[in-house]
Structure 1
Amino acid sequence: MIANLDKQIEQLKRCETISEAEVKQLCLQAREILVEEGNVQYVDSPVTICGDIHGQFWDLMELFSVGGMCPETNYLFMGDFVDRGFFSVETFLLLLAFKVRYPDRITLIRGNHESRQITQVYGFYDECHRKYGSSTVWLQIFKLLTKYAQLIGNKKYLMMVLCVIFFGLIRMRYKAGVYRRRGAGFLFGGDAVRSFARMNDIELLARAHQLAMEGYKHMFDNLIVTVWSAPNYCYRCGNVASILELDENLRQEYKVFVHAPSDARSIPAKRAPPEYFL
């Protein structure tokens, strides 16, 4: 079984799809692992935190060239693996195969794009149909991811990694902040963030799902950071990307990288991704 999984990983690393039967088996194996993980999951440091990928497979490979390949590097991905880019299927299946092969070396959180409604509009549903001829693979995948947040800690520090849905919970619990409704979640002020962090003894909150042109962006006296890992988002935004490396003492190091060279990525000569939407 391990040999077959290793073969699938090598195939996916070449941006080649695996068969529908193999996808089904991979999802069954992943479900056995993910069902044991809680919605709030502790992750050991050192760990490398990654933001949105959005189906930009060759840029994911660029990320691995900067941060190290799994399992040598312990990774935490904050969701939005799919939609927008042309290789959402290969992107997500590779990360899922890593999760099955090395369950203690990679953690996957669902983002707002890991939902049936959004993927029917922004590309992943159509891509599954195009590459597999039906919605079977699409349906199998979205029975898997349910986690909202991860806690990363040691004896001195605790940090939290959040998805859009969990920010909604903060908004409901801590209404002191200035917030307004937006398309995929909520925006709110520093007082709500500080209150939440203080009451939960958290040193840093990391999030994704909002384009940062410089790859990452600190807010509220460095209490919260947005990490964005999709360079040249939608193949046209011109931004750089980043990953956040935390050592054993949770010291932060941000590594910034650009998109993969054009000769290393085969983008289909077809329509551009759907219009920009976070």
Structure 2
Amino acid sequence: MDIQKALYRTILDNYMNIMNTDLELYTSKAKILKLPMIPPNVLIQLTRNVTDLFKKEPNIVTAPPNTVVVGDIHGHIMDLFRILKKFHLPSPHSYVFLGDYVDRGEFSTETITLIYILKVLYPTRVFLIRGNHEFPEMCDYGGFAYEAHCTYGTDDISSAFNESFFYMPLAAIIDNYAFCIHGGLGADFKMISQLEQLRRPIFETGNPIINDALWSDPTDETDTLETSPRGLGYLFGQVITYDFIRHNKIDIIIRGHQCVDGGIEKLHENKIFTVFSASKYCGENNNKAGALLVKMRAVEEFTFPPFPYLRRVEASFVPISQKKAVEAPVCSKKTMKGISPMMSTPNLPSMMSTPTLPTIKQQPSRYMALFEQSIKCSSKDKDTPRRPNAVHEPENCPPKSKSRRRYSYNL
């Protein structure tokens, strides 16, 4: 493990070199963003290392005081860089990530890789909880699986990450003060202890408690519950929030799941905080990015102006220990099966050889209908949060499989 950590530290140093520069040089296109491209067997080993850590953690992880809470990132790696640069790496702060690390944005693979490396290097200071996009069906439809296949020419990468997602904790509590969950509350999820009783691995949605926790949204239009137009979960009002806080002896709820204009939004007399950390979501909205610092049983809010949207085709990827430049083939539905791996992994420890991965049985039809309903209900005519200042789901943010892109790799 020491050899592996040394390699992960080297990869982190590559990311740190980017973070320590002026990030606006990249988003303004004044400088080309050069991201490290990790050998596939190293990525697979990383997912196994993180899975081992997840297995040792309870369903609800406990974070200390002085913790930064990061909302949905959705592959917006420049926003992740900016937040880490602002608060530094885990010392002096701990981090809680609220899920939805992948899909929608342009750099899902690199985003989840960086967060996983932080988890391995700082296992007691970095905490990840699961979002509704950390499921195979959502990764297939939202773009992560396609992006990973285009990058590496194999489905092994997304399969390895999904295998890890199955074991990811479901919630976090900070200083016995803030309860962190991806979505919210519902008819079936009323007590924190209900999450503690669930058994991992959790392979798919279907459990009503999971659906409530990962898919629900707060609303001001009812005090109790309404059916969510997303198709899963509920819209829950202030009475539901207050009952949950009182019965579970917490002070506030922090959640993600919704893109809000200001990056942070408070509801139900400041008992519910929504934090969304991907600015200029999908390149369509002009929303800010947000992050919270929970310290001394209080919340400090931080917002960041929207970064210009950086597309994957505008970046270059530099594999560790390789120098020669190549160009990746066009990746489309017709060519995906014929793509060969784009890189080799010389001089790696034998322990990093690619392990055999289990086959994940996928049942997309059930979820595709629900997800498509979610997109439809998030359109300009029918926004999911049902609040005047809610940000609509971008209509031009389809799965990546609908477009053809050519990626350039500087090796």
**TM-score with structure 2 setting the length:** 0.61
How far is 1:127 from its partner?
Answer: 0.4
Q: Which amino acid aligns with 1:214?
A: G
Q: Which amino acid aligns with 1:250?
A: R
Q: Which residue of 1 aligns with 2:313?
A: 268
Identity across the alignment (%): 28
Q: Which residue of 1 aligns with 2:122?
A: 102
Q: Which residue of 2 aligns with 1:4?
A: 7
Contact 2:118 2:126 (8 Å CA) reproduced? yes
Cα deviation digits, residues 177-228 of structure 1 (max 9, x gap): 2222232532111111111110111100000010110111111111111011
Q: Residues of 1 paired with 2:119 and 2:92: CA distance?
A: 13
Contact 1:160 1:204 (8 Å CA) reproduced? yes
* Worse-superposed segment, 95-104 or 67-76: 67-76
Q: Is the aligned partner of 1:60 residue 2:76? A: no
Change (3 A) 1:168 1:42: farther
Q: Residues of 1 paired with 2:43 and 2:187: CA distance?
A: 32
Q: Which residue of 2 aligns with 1:212?
A: 260
Count how many residue pairs are aligned between Structure 1 and Structure 2.
Answer: 268
Secondary structure at 2:245 match in 1: helix
Q: Of 149, 170, 190, which residue of structure 1 is paired with 2:171?
A: 149
- The root-mean-square deviation of aligned C-alpha atoms, in Å, is 2.4
How far is 1:105 from its partner?
Answer: 1.4
Secondary structure at 1:93 match in 2: helix
* Worse-superposed segment, 220-229 or 63-72: 63-72
Q: Residues of 2 paired with 1:41 and 1:250: CA distance?
A: 17
Secondary structure at 1:253 match in 2: strand
Q: Is the aligned partner of 1:30 residue 2:50? A: yes
In the alignment, structure 2 segments of 5+ residues that lack a partner are: 19-34, 191-207, 213-222, 315-329, 331-395, 400-411
Q: Is the aligned partner of 1:236 residue 2:360? A: no
Q: Residues of 2 paired with 1:69 and 1:235: CA distance?
A: 27
Contact 1:50 1:77 (8 Å CA) reproduced? yes
Q: Which amino acid aligns with 1:179?
A: E
Q: Which amino acid aligns with 2:78?
A: W
Matches within 5 A, 1:1-278: 1=3, 2-12=5-15, 14=18, 15-145=35-165, 146-153=168-175, 158-164=177-183, 169-170=188-189, 177-183=224-230, 185-247=233-295, 249-260=296-307, 265=310, 267-268=312-313, 273-274=397-398
**TM-score with structure 1 setting the length:** 0.88
* Worse-superposed segment, 5-14 or 15-24: 5-14
Q: Residues of 2 paired with 1:90 and 1:245: CA distance?
A: 24
Secondary structure at 2:169 match in 1: coil
Contact 2:130 2:169 (8 Å CA) reproduced? yes
Q: Which has the larger radius of gyration?
A: 2
